[in-house]
Structure 1
């Protein structure tokens, strides 16, 4: 059920009961464990663990604490170690200006050299950052035009830094510190970052979550971290596990890609994968990529799009869900007749419905479809994305005239359904201006979605 992407099982305080620790992890639903090395000695230990247990993987790297004696020849040794089939990353590497066990210039040199090695080997990196965010961000920014991918483990930076890293295709992960009583600031950041951008980790034997704080941490406690994330996002632990497991597959190649889903549950809502086709091509949409959301594979061709009866069969009793949502990695109104047929079934059987749309349904169907919302669609969530037509056009890769088309759809739709306008929270989009515009000009609700 879970993948612990960061557990230092080679530490001496595991020597006496490692078998029991691993048994506890398996019983707690931990399917895979990634053991990141911190130096050459621990790299050998991590590889030994990966050889012994089929569900353990490893990474190799020199931790900033251990870069005092850094020499460029260490790269050759790390390269050789990386040839092992179960080495999935270069790490744990990075900068630590809190302890400063190694000179900062040595830390930076080692960090950059190991990033270059990761790029050479086409491996991701696992980044340690403690009170070194300015230099970390500056270094990572230099690689924005490369295929570099990273896990920023035990993340404790700002929301702005998290957003920037996510825009650069990286992942963040949080440890047991999000369960600490005084960690409200960190929890607020967790709440605002989409789970699609997270990995799960314990950082064993450190950062033990409550109620075990003060004791040695171990992978079986991963559920406590997942439960806190689920609570903050108002989703289930299963949602967190499934989503972060796919992220681990995407970054490290651990696990497998899920099969195609026609309907999929997130929290207590059921989502209908209507189509992958769309008249827009948003810069923040993965429609042409993996098309996976919350660990569900939504990638399908036009020939794979099911008839309404397939969706209806999978829905069953719609009253068991908070709502049935028409969305997917595409524009649902492209298959408006199918949406209407399924929505009719849901409403006739006591369920609630929501339509996630770019607001181009009238343009797509060459008629005003908003009167057809009445009695079928309870809530229409429309992607505003920007108040400015030119920025809107760049974000969605459409003609600027589609901005007016979307606003016209919203104004007409609110006569028949509750309307919510949303934007994606990315740098450069003025959320406050959008919120004010939605309230004053459209008179509907506003929501900000996190970028992933």
Structure 2
């Protein structure tokens, strides 16, 4: 099931057809539509749509095109409208220096005052940005530690901007423009950020995806955008739908958190949620937060951790999957005996295994466990995170001495399994230095994994 987070169903070219448009959306597995307004009149119209259709929610706000008449009375009226129970955001707001329909100083004033309204009401914002990237980024940086949450709709910045926004806990969305032939740069951004940081949107009636380009856009076409994201990210459409649906819950509060998953499928791999416990406390890990990945809830207490037989039953035939991955939000080697029992079953039945670890397994188990990898674990993926022990300690909130333990684990593990060292793609981490260290010094493989908030 999909959620279209951006469809202007109040536009005149939907007049008399909204019933049919909503019906087609439902038939196309679109379970929720968010209608962002562009001025006071459309804010009221969006709310009226929520009253008529159970699956429609609204955002209220003044678009930069319509901010030329901005005054205190407008912000007061928006605040009243935003109190409606089906208003989930302030938007569409932002800056547009392409058309300049409103003076830039007025656009800036309206944008900031609507951000402040969103903070007051504890609502997220939906941001429009067209050729105003520097000002948008500078303004958003000002609110970094305020709790502001935003959707950057029809994303118009660079990959670096996207990663910075994600580090500030904002979400990114792309329209049908990612399906256009000349959208390689947009697809490059899509391929380099995590699905955990994305939302789906059509921007109806605009930005119609291929093969309907040239016609009016509508929410029923959201699957075409999801398919393109899935293709670029090597995921299934179901992965994209599930992850982005949870992201809507996380940002807009629509829906609910899913039940705990002991195993979870992403692409053609099956992941084993071994434990939520960890000896580290990484700053980029949501283990103590929601602990949701790709729409799967991995949050479980020690008392809820299953025995090996539960996982084995859920795995079934391991040959159905590309690989069986011991992962989750905790450190799998904390339950090393359970991991080994599951891995033996997988290998005995023709499957491929991978262990995602922080490389502290020898310390945790108080012995060298690397010889036990042989014949059980095909690939060991180890979180290097930084070549600098002090930065490593800061990122993972561990003693710096564990950096050497992790390196030692990698050196020993490569005798028994294929080893891949990884870092999280954060601006402060020197990925080139990490890659050089991994390939030239350790002689193993290197991978940079996406950061998501």
TM-score range, shorter chain: over 0.9
Aligned to 1:325: 325
The alpha-carbon deviation at position 16 of structure 1 amounts to: 2.9
Aligned ranges for residues 12-51 of structure 1 at < 5 Å?
A: 12-51=12-51
* Partner SS for 2:88: strand
Aligned to 2:362: 362
Q: Deviations over 1:155-214 (max 9, x none)?
A: 021011001111111000000000000010111011001000000000000000001111
Alignment of 1:90 onto 2:85: no
The alpha-carbon deviation at position 255 of structure 1 amounts to: 1.4
CA distance in 2, matches of 1:226, 1:19: 24
Conserved? CA contact 2:133–2:156, under 8 Å: no
Aligned to 1:351: 351
Aligned to 2:379: 379
CA distance in 1, matches of 2:64, 2:347: 59
Q: Deviations over 1:280-325 (max 9, x none)?
A: 0000000000000000000000000000000001001101000000
CA distance in 2, matches of 1:412, 1:141: 43
The alpha-carbon deviation at position 344 of structure 1 amounts to: 0.5
Aligned to 1:223: 223
* Partner SS for 2:72: coil
Aligned ranges for residues 311-322 of structure 1 at < 5 Å?
A: 311-322=311-322
Give the unaligned 5+ runs of structure 1: none
Aligned to 1:195: 195
Give the unaligned 5+ runs of structure 2: none
Conserved? CA contact 2:274–2:332, under 8 Å: yes
- Aligned residues: CA RMSD: 0.5
Aligned to 1:310: 310
Alignment of 1:125 onto 2:144: no
Q: Deviations over 1:74-116 (max 9, x none)?
A: 1110011011110000000000000000000000000000000
Alignment of 1:398 onto 2:424: no
* Partner SS for 1:73: helix
TM-score normalised by structure 1 residue count: 1.00
The alpha-carbon deviation at position 337 of structure 1 amounts to: 0.3
The alpha-carbon deviation at position 254 of structure 1 amounts to: 1.0
CA distance in 2, matches of 1:255, 1:52: 19
Segments of 4+ moved more than 6 angstroms: none
Aligned ranges for residues 144-159 of structure 1 at < 5 Å?
A: 144-159=144-159
* Partner SS for 1:363: helix
Aligned to 2:418: 418
Deviates more, 1:80-89 or 1:13-22: 13-22
Conserved? CA contact 2:63–2:92, under 8 Å: yes
Aligned ranges for residues 138-177 of structure 1 at < 5 Å?
A: 138-177=138-177
Alignment of 1:78 onto 2:67: no
CA distance in 2, matches of 1:328, 1:87: 34
Aligned to 1:244: 244
TM-score normalised by structure 2 residue count: 0.99
* Partner SS for 1:160: helix
CA distance in 1, matches of 2:255, 2:203: 20
CA distance in 2, matches of 1:73, 1:45: 19
The alpha-carbon deviation at position 352 of structure 1 amounts to: 0.6
The alpha-carbon deviation at position 17 of structure 1 amounts to: 1.7
Alignment of 1:442 onto 2:442: yes
